[in-house]
Amino acid sequence: MTLYEHLFYLSNLQLFFLCLIGTGILSGVSALTMALTRKCFPNPRGTAIVNTMLSGILLPTGMVIAFVAADVWHNDERGRIAVEQEATAISDAIRVTKHLQPADAEPIKQLLKDYVRYTVDEEWALMSKGQFSNNTEQTLENLMVAAVRLEAHADSFGESIAGQELRKYMTRVELARDDRLRVAETRIRLPKWLAVFVLLFVSACVISELHLNFRRPLVISLTLFSLGFGVTLYLMSAYDRPFTGRTIIEPIALKHVIIRANY
């Protein structure tokens, strides 16, 4: 497990303070860097960076962070939609079994319950490692076979229609599960994090250069800078990889399906 992956298992409060401390250290390093630069390369004329340069640096910084954050929110939304679609399709499939003969309905209904149980108990934990449950995979395959067999060997038109509907819903389950597994593997890649931190460092350097001769404005500016961007980094880190760590998408919708099926 990499250092970044360990961050997902910190509590929200620990991760929050870690992001604030990280941006605070970055701000402190930027101030020291600019102080050292001024000492090594003094400016005899006393000219300084114009204030408009700060807005020119913060604009691309904000845009890059916004793009990266948008990817995080999009993946989180995709994951939640996939879980809801998967649960809805299973619920519809269970509803179809109510119109079948008991000899056909009970095995299919039990397979649907097994699928949810394997997904919740096994696959949810494996997704954090980029893996999937073989039991879930096999149960889904058995459900598809049962649906095709029911449609092909139906004794009545109603059973044939039920088989078609069941196969349609199981296809939706398969597609939703595939999307869920794809989302589980997505994360903010290293080049994006590198770009964010480099731009934040450059912005902090500009702030330090503008206020280096005035301690109070320097401390206030860098503190506010660290707080603002620290919170932003916290949100991005907490919701990256929506099926990993403590801030994750829970299988609540799938659990509710089984609860309703037992009544």
pLDDT tens digits for range 192-211: 999 999 999 999 998 988 88
CB-CB neighbours of 263 under 10 Å: 4
pLDDT-derived band at 46 (thresholds 50, 70, 90) equals: low
Q: 245 in the Ramachandran plot: left (φ > 0), alpha (ψ -120 to 50) or beta?
A: left
Count of structural domains, the chain: 1
Average pLDDT over residues 129-134: 89
Residues 6+ apart with CB under 8 A from 247: 8, 12, 238, 239
Q: Which DSSP string corresponds to 200-212? A: HHHHHHHHHHHHT
Q: Domain of residue 125: give its range.
A: 50-198+238-261
Which has more confidence, 2 or 18?
18
pLDDT-derived band at 141 (thresholds 50, 70, 90) equals: very high
pLDDT-derived band at 27 (thresholds 50, 70, 90) equals: very high
Chain mean position to CA 44: 51
17 assigned to some structural domain:
no
Using alpha carbons only, give the angle 213, 218, 220 rounded to the nearest 5 degrees: 150
Average pLDDT over residues 177-196: 92
41 assigned to some structural domain:
no
- What are the helix (H) ranges across 8-51? 12-40
pTM here is 0.84
| pLDDT value, residue 194 | 93
